Copies of this chain bind each other. A is one copy, B any other.
Amino acid sequence: MSAAEVRIIGITGLPELHAGDDLPAMIVAAARAQETTIEDGDALIVTQKVVSKAEGRIVELASVTPSPWAEQYARDFEKDARQVEVVLRETKQIVRMGHGVMICETHHGFICANAGVDASNVERTGTVCLLPVDPDASARAIRERLRASLGLDVAVIISDTFGRPWREGHMNFAIGIAGIAPIINYAGQLDPAGYELRVTQIAVVDELAAAAELVQGKLDRVPVAIVRGVSFDRTDSSLSELLRAAERDMFR
Residues of B with C-beta under 8 A to A150: none
Among the listed B1, B166, B193, which residue makes an inter-chain contact with A252, where contact means beta carbons less than 8 Å apart? B166
**A26 interface contact, C-beta 8 A:** no
| A residues contacting the other copy or chain, number (CB 8 A) | 86
Residues of B with C-beta under 8 A to A227: 214
Residues of B with C-beta under 8 A to A230: 214
Give the complex CA separation of A55 and B31 in angstroms: 47
In the complex, the answer to whether B121 meets A193 with C-beta atoms within 8 Å is yes
**A7 interface contact, C-beta 8 A:** yes
In the complex, the answer to whether B171 meets A244 with C-beta atoms within 8 Å is no
In the complex, the answer to whether A196 meets B242 with C-beta atoms within 8 Å is no
Q: What are 23 contact pairs spanning A and B, CB under 8 A?
A: A1-B13, A3-B9, A5-B9, A5-B10, A6-B8, A6-B215, A119-B195, A120-B195, A121-B191, A121-B193, A165-B250, A168-B183, A168-B244, A170-B199, A170-B202, A170-B203, A171-B210, A172-B207, A186-B219, A191-B219, A202-B218, A207-B210, A251-B251
Q: Contact residues of A with B, CB < 8 Å?
A: 1-13, 16, 33-36, 96, 98-99, 101, 103, 111, 118-125, 161, 164-173, 182-183, 186, 189, 191-204, 206-208, 210-211, 213-215, 218-222, 227, 229-230, 241-244, 248-252
